[in-house]
Structure 1
Amino acid sequence: MSVAASFGALPPLWAGVTGFVLGAIIGSYLATLAMRWPKGESASAGRSRCDGCGRNLRWFELVPLLGYVLRRGRCGQCGARIDPVHPIMELCAAAIGALSLAMYPGAAGLAGAIFGWALLLLAILDIRHFWLPDRVTLPLILLGIGAAWLFGTPDLRDAAIGAAAGFLVLYLIALGYRALRGRDGLGGGDSKLLAAIGAWLGWQMLPIVILLASATGLIAVLLSATRGKAVAATDRLPFGAFLAVVAWPLWLARAPLAAVFPGL
């Protein structure tokens, strides 16, 4: 029996628990990627270590979430603060795994969890470094097309159109902005990310994704302003992160949305 079939045989509650545990483990690895990739390091090279003193971590310190709690957020040797990206990504990835497999037990839920985990990594990288690496966005496009072919949701044609339309919409906006303002307004990774989202959700969902991502960005700007931080027109915003934040919940809610809006 395959792993995906095993998930499908579990009751929703146990599928969710399994997804939570699996997600926490995946989140720990994703946090390592988010920390090491921008430095040009491989996440697979060498043991996990303290970011402050470089000490190799013991096995119980590597237990997702629990290891952070046991160490009270600090290295037991040097006392350096553990980057909060670790527990945040572990908890978010655990929630993604739990909800995906609880609501869609089996291969479809596992595929949706992979979609969510990839978006989580991209969101963190964009927030911290304004970077949406091709090594994640491009395979995510292909995985979205493959998921549509395997599961039929969205329709394969809609997924293909969604990938093409998602890329072209932001690519053309970026070209127009550069022509009008003489500088870049959107990074190239944003268009590739929206292409991936279009492949996973179908072209019909793209207007909703863009609208919600823009609203999320506006809320982020307003919250920043209420804290006394002025936002200038030339300030960079991680629009890719806003896209990622809204895309996975829309995937999760696709069945209820399709029931209310049959055209989606």
Structure 2
Amino acid sequence: MFWTLFSLAAAPFVGSFIGLLTLRLPAGRRWIATRSACDACHRRLGPLDLIPIVSFLGLRGRCRTCRAAIPIRYPLLETAALGVAAWSALAQSGAMVPVTAIFGWGLLAVAVIDAENLWLPDVLTLPLGAAGWAFTVSLGLRTPLAPLIGAAAGYGALALVAFVYKALRGRPGLGGGDPFLLGAIGAWVGWRGLPTVLLWSCGVGLAIAAIISLARRRLDLARPLPFGTFLAVGAWLTWLLGPSPGAS
């Protein structure tokens, strides 16, 4: 119960940080060791302004000083992070609860940034892979070499696909960050889980493309889709549900 309560209590604060991260990192703004402030009046926010979800509701979505609208992304991501923690608690037990939540929170951050900016920053994907090695090895889920093999297999698979596509079509078919993200995922799920991650990812991607096509009456094939977001969904489901027997 300790790990479950800890994860649930930490989740909204992690979600608030993810909200800040997904705004500042793509904009090239400082996000480490900086005080939170209103983007409109630049007043530094106090403790009463920073209580996840509660402050947004209490202030009715407005800055206490200038009444500027607080981005809705903050309570949404705080709630999403809480949902990740709750799902982790339902699916795991003991120390696996916060470990699973940490993986989910990392995937949530990269998924949002890629969906909004078509960009997967190495400053997030590389530590995510390192955490996968550290947690899976320390908990006895993998041997020390296994996560490294998974990371190499994940990176190599998408890097090869990107190279072949560019050689045949003369233009990039994957973002440069996608191989690094699949490599980081491989450190968590192992090489046996990678085919299932790709199956989930492609399924989600095709579903999203179909919805977009129906909404717009036609599908713009030249418009890129955030494959990193789909990889994040596939990684989360594979971690929770395990690799498909046919894929592994």
- TM above 0.5, yes or no, is yes
Q: In the alignment, residue 202 of structure 2 is paired with which amino acid? A: S
State how 1:44-123 maps to structure 2 within 5 Å: 44-123=32-111
Report deviation, 1:68: 1.7
Report deviation, 1:166: 0.5
Q: Decide which of 212, 221, 235 is 1:224's aligned counterpart.
A: 212
Q: In the alignment, residue 96 of structure 2 is paired with which amino acid? A: A
Match of 2:197 in 1: 209
Match of 1:38 in 2: 26
Q: In the alignment, residue 140 of structure 2 is paired with which amino acid? A: G
SS at match of 1:35: helix
Report deviation, 1:158: 3.8
Q: Decide which of 233, 240, 259 is 2:221's aligned counterpart.
A: 233
Match of 1:7 in 2: none
Match of 1:133 in 2: 121
Q: In the alignment, residue 190 of structure 1 is paired with which amino acid? A: D
Cα deviations by residue, 1:57-96 (Å, 9 ceiling, x for unpaired): 3322211111222223333444433222211221111122
Match of 1:22 in 2: 10
CA distance in structure 1 between the aligned counterparts of 2:74 and 2:218, rounded to whole angstroms = 29
Task: Return closer, same or farther for 1:263/1:238 CA change in 2, 3 Å cut-off.
Answer: closer
Check whether the contact 2:4–2:98 (CA below 8 A) recurs between aligned residues. no
Q: In the alignment, residue 204 of structure 1 is paired with which amino acid? A: R
SS at match of 2:124: helix
Report deviation, 1:140: 1.7
Alignment pair present for 1:144 and 2:97: no
Report deviation, 1:162: 1.5
Check whether the contact 2:89–2:97 (CA below 8 A) recurs between aligned residues. yes
Cα deviations by residue, 1:151-190 (Å, 9 ceiling, x for unpaired): 2324544423221111011101111111111111111210
Task: Return closer, same or farther for 1:245/1:74 CA change in 2, 3 Å cut-off.
Answer: farther
Check whether the contact 1:154–1:200 (CA below 8 A) recurs between aligned residues. no
Alignment pair present for 1:171 and 2:159: yes
Cα deviations by residue, 1:132-152 (Å, 9 ceiling, x for unpaired): 111111122222122232223
Task: Return closer, same or farther for 1:204/1:93 CA change in 2, 3 Å cut-off.
Answer: same
- Structure-2-length-normalised TM-score: 0.89
Equivalent pairs, count? 248
CA distance in structure 1 between the aligned counterparts of 2:209 and 2:150, rounded to whole angstroms = 28
Match of 2:177 in 1: 189
List gaps (5 residues or longer) in structure 1: 1-9
